Amino acid sequence: MKRPSIALCIALLATGGPAVAQTPAPKATAEDARQLGAFFKEIDADRNRRLTKVEMSVFAQRHKLGVFVRNRSWRILDADGNGTLDLDEFVEGMVKLRAEWTAEQKAKAK
């Protein structure tokens, strides 16, 4: 089984992305949901099915990726603003970040 690309996922967290939201909102594929589901379990250190910003940051540090979870990325991920991420928020949020990140890379390449 192919492992989720941790480096890519963490890199996404560190991007602010462009200010303009994508329309229409990007959709998670079955493959996205599978990979991000595995990633979610790995980040969720206390196994309570909720991710905190601290858990995300600890995870990034453990993998020595030298990035932090930017507030803007966190706001995109935590759609209901309750301070934690459930699995649905995490999957949808990461797909949104990826779409923004991809758009930003394309813009830079021009």
5 binds Ca ion (CB under 5 A): no
- Residue (of 14, 43, 22) closest to 96 by Cα position: 22
Q: Please identify which residue in 78, 90, 95, 100 interacts with Ca ion, judged by CB under 5 A.
A: 78
Nearest to 17, CA basis, from 58, 67, 63, 70: 70
Cα 98 to Cα 77: distance, rounded to the nearest angstrom: 11
| For residue 26, cis peptide bond before it (omega within 30 degrees of 0) | no
Candidates 5-13, 42-50, 68-76, 100-108; binding stretch for Ca ion (CB under 5 A): 42-50
2 counts as binding Ca ion under rule CB under 5 A: no
Q: Which range, of 9-17, 28-36, 85-93, 96-104, touches Ca ion by CB under 5 A?
A: 85-93
Smallest gap, in angstroms, from Cβ of residue 106 to Ca ion? 29
Question: How near is the Cβ of 43 to Ca ion at its closest, in Å?
Answer: 8
Q: Which of 5, 48 has the CB closer to Ca ion?
A: 48
Distance CA 24, CA 18 (A): 15
Select the residue interacting with Ca ion from 48, 61, 71, 105 (CB under 5 A): 48
User: CA-CA distance, 83 to 7, in Å (whole number)?
Assistant: 24
Between 17 and 93, name the residue whose CB sits nearer to Ca ion: 93
